[in-house]
Structure 1
């Protein structure tokens, strides 16, 4: 019997109403296996147009749906923490407010998770504006040992694709704000604490690469967040001193290169990380 599960979808003031509606419909109405409930976390006040879409989605959803309205914008990590606590079910599926889920996503992920896993991710397609035009594919590592090796250098999961058990998330300490890397830090701790994890290499989500995506990954603030992450990874015993230093040079340097080079470097780092994980 397939586990009951909650869809957890955060939204905030800068999200596009039309993209939110598309994301929700793809993850609820169009799924061959629909969530048992849908929980939208409204991270702070939003404009009238976005609020109107939220009201319509709740009213017309084919599964029970509700909005957890946070009075102030607290950021993604804290919004997800609040959302996890409010979900009715231990199994939770993540979705972002501007992506598109393929119809078989949950049927395939829940079938795998129900064999005994705590965390299941998937591959994804990248697009810009037209979801029918793919500009890239992210194929994650598979096999628990490969995933653990990969996690020493890069995030082994595509965050918008994951389905996990809330108990395993909480056992690892939950989401902690670390720049734009709260998901990486969570998944690394989950793996270190013994969570059973796997990826489906097949793309099951279409991921929107919006304007400024690579700009946000750079700058002094992200460099500081990267250095903090690497210190925490080392203290937790996830990386060795040598691996930490390697990451500071490679991942830290990536934060300081011009945006155009950062886009190229990002894909190069992913590919190198994958090969390193395969051979380590």
Structure 2
């Protein structure tokens, strides 16, 4: 049986580092045992000259077709991903961030499950700060439909940069919707609630780059308000009970308002909970 054709979807914005993008792309294309059929890079607004030059180099030298979708202004990840989905030629799409690293067997393992009938397949990740070979922590996602659904009531069960999904499943729930930095969590909840077949591979198939300010970005009043709004939506659609909603509002709200140094300790202690914290 021939391997399924699929698109690589990779958003880029002005803050991305050209050298990080080069590594992200090469690890997700050149180094893969199963390569994507095409790559769709969404340029989310104007970018500096060096980054633009790197995009030109990627298009010129890539072993697979690459299309750069240029958005006139920076609209954020939700809009960029939906625009990229519109441009993808294949019914299966693999997510990638512009500063992370895919391990060589990532797509071969995930597409095997997609071929088996799953609509969304995520994976584990290791986090690194500067050297991809030096992991500082690991995010191990839940596996199995029941565990994923139970986990989703309190935490994001999927590591967003690892997702591979069927576009039809996303179309059925309205694709990405704006939800602060938790658009991926809300997408996963809606997919589970819709009856989509979802799974995770526990092994780390992506190396996720974190910077010094990562834990500060996971907190504050705005993040707490987004968290509470997400919990209200989960209650509205019947995904959580009122008791679960009240518990989550208190516990997760407190976490968001803690100092970054404390969040770092807690996150490392309970790593694998899939707390959202998208870059960009």
Cα offset for 1:267? 3.9
- The aligned runs of 1:1-280 (5 Å cut-off) are 1-268=2-269, 270=271
TM-score by length of 1: 0.95
Find the aligned partners of 1:39 and 1:70 in 2 and give their Cα distance. 13
Instruction: Report the 3-state secondary structure (helix = DSSP H, G, I; strand = E; otherwise coil) of the residue aligned with 1:26.
Output: helix
1:74 is paired with a residue of what secondary structure?
coil
Contact 1:125/1:203 (CA < 8 Å) preserved in 2?
Answer: yes
Indicate the larger mover: 173-182 or 69-78: 173-182
* Aligned-residue offset at 1:126: 0.9
Q: Contact 1:92/1:165 (CA < 8 Å) preserved in 2?
A: yes
Query: How much does 1:2 deviate?
Result: 1.9
Asked if the contact 1:154/1:270 (under 8 Å) is kept, the reply is: no
The runs of 5 or more residues in structure 1 that have no matched partner are 275-280
**Can you list the C-alpha shifts for 1:36-86, whole angstroms capped at 9, x where unaligned?**
000000000000000000000011000001100000000001110111111
Structure 2 contact 137–271 (Cα < 8 Å) conserved = no
SS at 1:255 equivalent: helix
Task: Please report how far the alpha carbon of residue 178 of structure 1 lies from its aligned counterpart in structure 2 after TM superposition.
Answer: 1.3
- 1:211 deviates by 2.5
* Secondary structure at 2:85 match in 1: helix
Q: Compute the displacement of 1:268 (Å).
A: 4.4
Distance verdict in 2 for CA 1:201–1:2, change over 3 Å: same
Is residue 8–residue 40 contact of structure 2 (8 Å, CA) maintained in 1?
Answer: yes
What is the RMSD of the two structures over their aligned residues, measured on CA atoms? 1.2
TM-score where L is the length of structure 2: 0.95
The CA distance in 1 between the partners of 2:210 and 2:232, in whole Å, is 29
| 8 A contact 1:125–1:205 mirrored in 2 | yes
2:141–2:200 CA contact under 8 A, matched in 1: yes
- Separation in structure 1 between the aligned mates of residue 144 and residue 212 of structure 2, nearest angstrom: 33
Q: Write the distance in 2 (CA, Å) between the matches of 1:232 and 1:162.
A: 22
